[in-house]
């Protein structure tokens, strides 16, 4: 269910004003809080060591830094002391906490600028605690850079959150527009999870773009061409996949592991999508239940008012109160359903698309290698022909070309080997993380269900004597 609001927001996002480079220093036309002059920065500006691998952009956005530390939901992503044999990094010292908070309205987009706070003891970072402000487009920009740098090597780059929130359930209760509040929280939470996943990846953690993103208080505005949304990247990946599928050359899979894994991920994808849809439906119905329970509570209160038998009247009012409390319980449970399970599933559906993308990259690499071999063969044939043609310069050229293509073939084979190796390692890491994530989240979810039932018991136990007291 796409809310018109969300659609409007995404339109704003893509509007040129938010992404395009601006000549004027720090002027954000759409930023009502022009935060320029009062920048009370507690953190020093970029240290000179940083070599940003960025395009020369417009003047940076200078924003005040308010180091707001809000405990994050990072505990869901607590690292484990697992040792993966292929890991070069020492996971034991993985200690990083990230929180994304303070969503601010910029222009019409209710959640465009956020505070990003980092707490860590890792040495790659120049400080133990950093707080910076980032815009949504910055996150997208980061992802697109990482994708373009690492995907072709077989690294599973965590996808960034979507611009438009599809399937968001809207409940308008009272004057407050809940859907807007929900949207903000959903995006904030999604960005936090995105960053945590990104830094959990040992290679990505060391990436200069990532470090700069996390630490530097100034970030050049992402150029519009690079600020692709998460959906945009996925479309790119899918296009690559389509291209691969349309290839007439069937890849000779010498390694059964890859075939098996691809099938497994295919199945997992199908089931997770199904599960996600069911959970979204559950969230929707629970919210509906909450609304209907509240409505019934009011009605029961009215009925109690008009009942002329005093004791029964009182009991009905009590019933109304119980139902009101229960409606709040349902509301809270629906939130838990959503933020714990539904979002996790959504994340994994997108992650698996990234995994599939990586397998496709491998196929592309193989195809490239094949192409190079075909080319080499052709060049050799051409050279053989030229042997008898007495054209010395052409012959020399042909020999040069052969050497060139021999090199390319070798490179292609090395690339293919490398990507295969990377993928094996990545998939191993991915699966470990998946097991952990699901375990942690499901246990948390069950605990929320336990809490709900405990509260229910409390409420009904309080009501029972009231009902019995009707004389």
Q: Which residues here bind other proteins, judged by CB under 8 A?
A: 264, 267-268, 271-272, 274-275, 278-279, 281-282, 285-286, 288-289, 292-293, 295-296, 299-300, 302-303, 305-309, 311-312, 315-316, 319, 431, 434-435, 438-439, 442-443, 446-447, 449-450, 453-454, 456-457, 460-461, 463-464, 467-468, 470
Could you give the C-alpha distances from 271 to 44, 266, 360, 467, in angstroms and in order? 48, 9, 21, 46
Q: Which two tokens stand for residue 113?
A: 């600028």
| Residue 361 CB, nearest approach to other proteins (Å) | 22
251 near 363, Cβ under 8 Å? yes
| Residue 278 CB, nearest approach to other proteins (Å) | 4
| Residue 346 CB, nearest approach to other proteins (Å) | 15
Closest CB to other proteins among residues 28, 345 = 345
Cα separation, 289 vs 408, whole angstroms: 63
| Residue 319 CB, nearest approach to other proteins (Å) | 7
| Residue 52 CB, nearest approach to other proteins (Å) | 39
Cα separation, 430 vs 169, whole angstroms: 30
Closest CB to other proteins among residues 7, 457 = 457
The structure tokens 């069911």 sit at: 278
Closest CB to other proteins among residues 17, 264 = 264
Closest CB to other proteins among residues 39, 270 = 270
| Residue 308 CB, nearest approach to other proteins (Å) | 5
Could you give the C-alpha distances from 310 to 109, 299, 466, 467, in angstroms and in order? 53, 18, 12, 12
Closest CB to other proteins among residues 55, 281 = 281
Closest CB to other proteins among residues 45, 311 = 311
| Residue 439 CB, nearest approach to other proteins (Å) | 6
| Residue 366 CB, nearest approach to other proteins (Å) | 24
| Residue 338 CB, nearest approach to other proteins (Å) | 13
98 near 195, Cβ under 8 Å? yes
Closest CB to other proteins among residues 70, 450 = 450
Q: Which two tokens stand for residue 3?
A: 């809310």
Closest CB to other proteins among residues 66, 292 = 292
Closest CB to other proteins among residues 374, 470 = 470
Of 156, 151, 136, 149, which Cα lies nearest the Cα of 200? Answer: 156
The structure tokens 């009902």 sit at: 467
Closest CB to other proteins among residues 69, 289 = 289
| Residue 299 CB, nearest approach to other proteins (Å) | 4
Closest CB to other proteins among residues 310, 410 = 310
| Residue 273 CB, nearest approach to other proteins (Å) | 10
380 near 406, Cβ under 8 Å? no
């Amino acid at each position: 269910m796409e809310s018109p609001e969300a659609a409007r927001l995404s339109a704003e996002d893509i509007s040129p004003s938010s992404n395009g480079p601006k000549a004027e220093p720090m002027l954000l036309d759409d930023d009502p809080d022009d935060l320029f002059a009062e920048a009370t920065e507690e953190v020093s500006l970029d240290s000179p060591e940083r070599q940003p691998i960025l395009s020369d952009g417009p003047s940076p956005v200078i924003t005040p830094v308010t180091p707001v530390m809000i405990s994050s939901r990072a505990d869901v992503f607590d690292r484990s002391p697992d040792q993966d044999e292929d890991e070069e990094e020492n996971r034991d010292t993985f200690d990083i906490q990230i929180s994304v908070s303070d969503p601010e309205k910029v222009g019409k987009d209710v959640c465009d600028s956020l505070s990003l706070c980092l707490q860590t003891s890792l040495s790659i970072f120049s400080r133990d605690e950093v707080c910076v402000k980032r815009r949504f487009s910055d996150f997208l920009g980061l992802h697109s850079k990482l994708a373009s740098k690492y995907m072709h090597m077989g690294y599973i780059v965590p996808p960034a959150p979507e611009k438009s929130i599809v399937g968001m359930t809207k409940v308008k209760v009272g004057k407050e527009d809940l859907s807007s509040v929900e949207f903000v929280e959903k995006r904030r939470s999604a960005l936090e999870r995105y960053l945590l996943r990104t830094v959990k990846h040992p290679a990505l953690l060391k990436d200069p773009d990532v470090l700069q993103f996390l630490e530097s208080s100034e970030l050049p505005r992402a150029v519009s061409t690079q600020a692709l949304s998460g959906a945009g990247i996925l479309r790119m990946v899918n296009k690559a996949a389509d291209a691969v599928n349309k290839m007439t050359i069937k890849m000779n899979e010498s390694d059964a592991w890859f075939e098996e894994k691809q099938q497994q991920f295919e199945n997992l994808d199908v089931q997770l999508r199904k599960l996600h849809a069911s959970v979204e439906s559950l969230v929707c119905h629970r919210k509906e239940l909450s609304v209907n329970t509240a409505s019934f509570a009011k009605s029961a209160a009215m009925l109690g008012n008009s009942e002329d038998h005093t004791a029964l009247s009182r009991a009905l009012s009590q019933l109304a109160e119980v139902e009101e409390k229960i409606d709040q319980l349902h509301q809270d449970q629906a939130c838990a359903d959503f933020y714990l399970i539904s979002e996790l599933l959504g994340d994994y559906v997108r992650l698996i698309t990234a995994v599939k993308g990586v397998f496709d990259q491998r196929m592309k690499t193989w195809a490239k290698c094949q192409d190079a071999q075909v080319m080499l063969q052709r060049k050799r044939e051409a050279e053989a022909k030229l042997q008898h043609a007495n054209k010395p310069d052409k012959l020399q050229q042909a020999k040069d070309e052969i050497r060139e293509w021999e090199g390319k073939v070798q490179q292609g084979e090395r690339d293919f080997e490398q990507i295969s190796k990377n993928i094996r390692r990545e998939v191993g890491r991915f699966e470990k993380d998946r097991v952990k994530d699901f375990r942690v989240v499901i246990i948390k979810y069950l605990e929320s269900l336990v809490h709900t039932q405990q509260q229910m018991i409390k409420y009904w136990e309080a009501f029972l004597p009231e009902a019995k007291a009707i004389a």
